[in-house]
Structure 1
Amino acid sequence: MRDIVEGDLLWQPSPHDIENANLTRYMTWLKSHIGREFADYQDLWRWSVTDIDAFWASLWDYFDIIASEPYTAVVAERGMPGARWFPGAKLNYAENFFRQQTGDHPALYYQAESGPLTEISWQTLHNQTTRLAQALRAMGVERGDRVVAYPPKLP
């Protein structure tokens, strides 16, 4: 077996993979919506760590996050750990998570060590999430309450 040394390129995406990558779609959106153009990934990365507010605000806009109340800043209390991201924003995670993903397309793939590959569709995941939310409400869980679960490694 050959040792891997620093500097060895382990994998490189094909031009087709690059053209169809989510990151490429985001970079195209940046150019058309806010006029930012990047030569390559390193250029985008450099912007993401030097202009943190603009980078994360662009992601909020790119993903068209739905919020009932807008954020007042991108990041407050910048110390890590402990930074507060998008303070003031109020949103429903489930609404944003499920809004563009529906139907019988796979949302999750699961395979136990000794079992077959199992797919869970977006519709099934949405139905299970809805049932869990209803059960929590029936138990008296309200906005602001914290719920902790220690579930098995099963879908």
Structure 2
Amino acid sequence: MSYQAEYTASIENPEAFWADKARALNWYRAPQQVLSTDENRIDRWFADGELNTAYLALDVHLEQGRGDQTALIYDSPVTGQAQRYSYRELTDQVARFAGVLKAQGVEKGDRVVIYMPMIPEAVIAMLAVARLGAVHSVVFGGFAAPELAVRIEDAEPRVVVTASCGIEVDKLIPYKPLLDDAIVRSSHKPQSCVVFQRPQVVAQMVPGRDLDWEEAMAQAEPADCVPVKGTDPLYILYTSGTT
């Protein structure tokens, strides 16, 4: 079907159009209602359906025999590092990090702030949060402490996930001092912080609060996907008005 035909169908009969698209997804519980109105007279799509985004992004591909296909390519022009993850490898990493978060008490509906550079671990963290039915809030890496503190207060995360530093063309940006300062400023204090140590900068850890990513992953039990409603939030995203 051409783009124009798809577009026309979506405008002329949106419920039928999106019901057809929804049938392509692997639901834990297939929705019986496509579009409904809640008690506040707000339209809700697939409100009685249950699914999990991480399951759809990863596990489905394993079940359909694509485990050895490439799921993620990391290619950094700054560090020169290149890395590929198959669906099987990425699913293993995501399930294990979901286990790390679960061990810290993260449950369905909880929030997790992700304050990281654009590295594979950021993707792993996002999918791990989704795997547990929790809500992630990605904060731009290197954001100043006052602005990061506001994001922490808004989300009230149980856990913050960060890296020891970001790497730009001509400088290193230590993230951990910014995060520590933000937590001091914030009225909400996360229960724990998981820190991915990059070799360029080793972050100072706060005893009793901070966990080393690699150490925590080595001890983690993989966590299963948690079904959530079709209307449950997946992430919190701020916009400047142009995104």
Q: Do the two structures share a fold, i.e. TM-score over 0.5?
A: yes
Alignment check: 8 A CA contact 2:73 2:82 kept? yes
Q: Superposition pairs for residues 43-62 of structure 1, below 5 Å?
A: 43-61=5-23
Instruction: Note the alpha carbon deviations across 1:84-138, whole angstroms, 9 max, x for none.
Output: 3211212222222221244221001121123254321111110111111101110
- TM-score when scaled to structure 1? 0.61
Corresponding residue number in structure 1 for 2:161: none
Q: Deviations over 1:43-98 (max 9, x none)?
A: 2211012211111111111x24222x332432345xxxx75321121222222222
Match of 1:66 in 2: 27
Matches within 5 A, 1:3-152: 27=1, 40-61=2-23, 63-67=24-28, 69-76=29-36, 84-97=44-57, 98-101=59-62, 102-114=66-78, 115-152=80-117
Bigger relative contact order, structure 1 or 2, given CA contacts below 8 A and separation 6+? 2
8 Å CA contact 2:61, 2:87 repeated in 1: no
Match of 1:148, SS?
Answer: strand
Q: Which AA in structure 1 matches 2:14? A: I
> CA 1:53–1:126 in 2, change beyond 3 Å: closer, same or farther?
same
Contact 2:69–2:86 under 8 Å retained in 1: yes
Give the number of the structure whose residues are more often strand, by fraction: 2
Partner letter of residue 152 of structure 1? P
- Name structure 1 gaps, 5 residues minimum: 1-26, 28-39
Runs (4+) of structure 1 exceeding 4 A deviation are: none
Q: Distance in 1 between matches of 2:115 and 2:33?
A: 33
Question: 2:60 is matched by which residue type in structure 1?
Answer: R
State the Cα RMSD in Å. Answer: 2.4
Q: Which structure's CA Rg is the greater one?
A: 1
Q: Secondary structure of the residue that 2:108 maps to in structure 1? A: coil
Q: Provide the C-alpha distance between the structure 2 equivalents of 1:106 and 1:126, rounded to a whole number of angstroms.
A: 12
Match of 1:31 in 2: none
Between the aligned partners of 1:150 and 1:53, the Cα distance in structure 2 is 38
Normalized per residue, which structure has more helix? 1
Which segment is superposed worse, 129-138 or 89-98?
89-98
Distance 2:115 2:36 in 1: 31
When the two structures are aligned, how many residues end up with a matched partner?
112
- Percent of pairs with identical residues: 35
